[in-house]
Structure 1
Amino acid sequence: MAAASGLLVRCLLAVAVVSAALVAGAAAGGPLSTRFYSKTCPNVQSIVRAGMASAVAAEKRMGASILRMFFHDCFVNGCDASILLDDTASFTGEKNAGPNANSVRGFEVIDAIKAQVEASCNATVSCADILALAARDAVNLLGGPTWTVYLGRRDALTASQSDANANLPGPGSSLATLISMFGNKGLSARDMTALSGAHTVGQARCSTFRDRIYNDANINATFASLRQQTCPQAGGDAALAPIDVQTAEAFDNAYYHNLMSKQGLFHSDQELFNGGSQDALVKKYSGNAGMFAADFARAMVRMGAISPLAGTQGEVRLNCRKVN
């Protein structure tokens, strides 16, 4: 079993690296570049990698948390590190928006990495770029693919709680809603289905999946009963459960196996395999780990290029929690 697992990881890495390299140039677009810090901060990628390696070694769940943070950042006014801003007397940021308040965590990890980057290259690397690199490394450190991260993003000067509440899909979303919300960000239904595979790692609060395990029809009865043991119909909202019932801490394609067994934790997950347009793709990912890895890497490059600030827009924050 261990040998088979190692083979799967090598397959994921090899296929994804090649595939991402082939498509990255076309996918990134805009002002981002692979060599943006080659002269001004050549060690930035190794610094971020070391910081994430330390964080994941201390708590594997943190890898999933940083990946989620990046997704929640990019879907609200682009990949601009607005999610990292603390509330101030003059504006209310995104941290306490409904989709973020109880699910986005790991801000202290980004703070620690930023401090190390600042010590090496003062006022040079944006928090937005650090988060993009950290998300890539989080996936890879959990056994998943790697990809080329295009850099040059600038940091937002403000944030919007209302936009965070409006632009992030929820755990009860329908397939049509998911396709529409991802489409609004320039991502295809295939991108959406691949990116949803991020739910192969991480944990979720009872409040986000209670309705599914008690009320959904398209759910494995044994799986529902298992989750009901720690998620009662009333109370216990903060109780956690692994999103992937098979390999909760490994970035693999087990998520899609779960969907085919009606064991998606969220209603929105199971919508991907519920007699709809994405069923065939879920089956392919379930049977082909390399295809999933390549598509996930490709989609992450595309997502990382959503409306970046560049040039003289925004700023390079010295502290990711506040504007300079």
Structure 2
Amino acid sequence: MSSSSSTSTIPKVAATLLLTTLALLVTTPPQSQAAARLSTDFYSKNCPRALTAIRAVVRGAVTNDRRIAGSLIRLQFHDCFVRGCDASVLLDKTATTGTEKDAAPNRRFTKTFRVIEDAKSQVERMCPGVVSCADIVAVAARDASAAVEGPSWGVELGRRDSGAAFPSLAGSDIPNPKDDLKTLISRFRKKGLNSREMVALSGAHTLGTAQCFTFRERVYGNETVAKDVIDPNFARKKRRMCPASGGDRLVQPLDPMTPTSFDNNYFKALMLRKGLLASDQVLFSGGSTDGIVREYSRNGGKFKGDFAAAMVKMGRIGVLTGSKGQIRRTCSKAN
């Protein structure tokens, strides 16, 4: 190649690189740009003892009642699926705005909200106006998992809090216990999560309980979703615990084997057709996620690793960073 042709190529290459860079800047979604500002050491200089304080509160709560661990993990899920991980789920009703707390999926979080408020008050004494409620929710979920033999992970921090709640979305965006597999996959895909991440995150149901109204139709044979894959003895036992009418607030464990320990028995139960919720059992009902359930039922370590990675990814959904949002002084009230 001659020197003249080589020289003429340089501007073309530079122009191509410039156009490619501009295209990436234009097409990169705001969520990804904001998530890039998160870091695991965000508070290392301006509030270095914050994570220790949150961990102490969470461990104390779990020691008093191991069932709270599942609720703390699910709280982050319910927060992130409604307009992003911004602690909007913690806001109380005001004279002019509603609250996500009144949505059916969130009504059992009363004790969980108190744990977050306790952690927030501890951190506020150390570093007023520094640590967001959204970050406390994320850290508490990780610490709750670790407290019941579950995985731990590096929590990315730097989220800011929403100044408003989104009650209408709380009833529509959070997965429903009667969802079929196609609907579940669609709901998670809209949040940027794939089928494997969906199954891994569903594994949080290795902890906690569900109220009768969420599974009554399934165990009485009136459910249109997955009604043909329930173990008859399992259904019979649940009918004894959950009357055909009334008793809506009675609860049963989501994992019938080890409901207060983070393990892979939830997936083993699905393979035995003992998923409590229809939305649990559809993960193993002849569909595209059967193989993932089998894998996790055999390999608890793989499940825990995938769960931790999925929690990190979920924690990036719709985050507010930089000058967006606020750092609420009290998690239940906007500043």
TM-score, normalised with respect to structure 1: 0.90
Is 1:128 matched up with 2:134? yes
- Correspondence for 1:141 among 134, 147, 171: 147
Could you tell me how far apart the structure 2 residues matched to 1:27 and 1:136 are?
Answer: 24
Q: Deviations over 1:126-178 (max 9, x none)?
A: 00000000000111101100001000000000011111111011100000000
CA contact (8 A) 1:196 1:269 kept: yes
Structure 1 residue matching 2:228: 3-state secondary structure: coil
CA contact (8 A) 1:28 1:302 kept: no
Report the equivalent of 2:13: none
Could you tell me how far apart the structure 2 residues matched to 1:122 and 1:186 are?
Answer: 34
Structure 2 residue matching 1:146: 3-state secondary structure: coil
Measure how far apart 1:113 and its partner are. Answer: 0.6
Report the equivalent of 1:231: 242
How many residue pairs match? The answer is: 299
- Correspondence for 2:270 among 252, 259, 266: 259
Using a 3 Å threshold, how does the CA distance of structure 1 residues 321 and 29 change in structure 2: closer, same or farther? closer
CA contact (8 A) 1:220 1:263 kept: yes
Root-mean-square deviation (Å): 1.4
Using a 3 Å threshold, how does the CA distance of structure 1 residues 168 and 202 change in structure 2: closer, same or farther? same
Could you tell me how far apart the structure 2 residues matched to 1:124 and 1:27 are?
Answer: 22
Q: Where does 1:109-188 land on structure 2 (aligned, <5 Å)?
A: 109-188=115-194
Percent of aligned positions with the same letter in both sequences? Answer: 49
- Correspondence for 1:82 among 78, 81, 88: 88
Q: Which amino acid aligns with 1:152?
A: G
Report the equivalent of 2:312: 301
Using a 3 Å threshold, how does the CA distance of structure 1 residues 156 and 28 change in structure 2: closer, same or farther? closer
Is 1:277 matched up with 2:288? yes
Using a 3 Å threshold, how does the CA distance of structure 1 residues 239 and 165 change in structure 2: closer, same or farther? same
Measure how far apart 1:34 and its partner are. Answer: 1.3
Q: Deviations over 1:200-240 (max 9, x none)?
A: 00011011111111112210111111111110111110001
Structure 1 residue matching 2:252: 3-state secondary structure: strand
Q: Which amino acid aligns with 1:227?
A: K
Q: Which amino acid aligns with 1:122?
A: P
Choose 228-237 or 102-111, whichever is displaced more.
102-111
Q: Deviations over 1:77-101 (max 9, x none)?
A: 0000000000001111211013222
Report the equivalent of 2:69: 63
Q: Which has the higher contact order (CA 8 A, sep 6+)?
A: 1
Could you tell me how far apart the structure 2 residues matched to 1:185 and 1:123 are?
Answer: 29
CA contact (8 A) 1:200 1:254 kept: yes
Could you tell me how far apart the structure 1 residues matched to 2:45 and 2:200 are?
Answer: 34
Q: Deviations over 1:159-200 (max 9, x none)?
A: 111111110111000000000000000000000000000000
Report the equivalent of 1:12: none
Q: Deviations over 1:248-293 (max 9, x none)?
A: 1000000000000000000000000000000011000000011101
Measure how far apart 1:30 and its partner are. Answer: 2.3
Could you tell me how far apart the structure 1 residues matched to 2:279 and 2:33 are?
Answer: 26
CA contact (8 A) 1:27 1:301 kept: no
Using a 3 Å threshold, how does the CA distance of structure 1 residues 235 and 314 change in structure 2: closer, same or farther? same
TM-score, normalised with respect to structure 2: 0.87
Could you tell me how far apart the structure 2 residues matched to 1:258 and 1:64 are?
Answer: 18
Report the equivalent of 2:219: 213
Could you tell me how far apart the structure 2 residues matched to 1:110 and 1:154 are?
Answer: 15
Report the equivalent of 1:3: none
Using a 3 Å threshold, how does the CA distance of structure 1 residues 102 and 292 change in structure 2: closer, same or farther? same
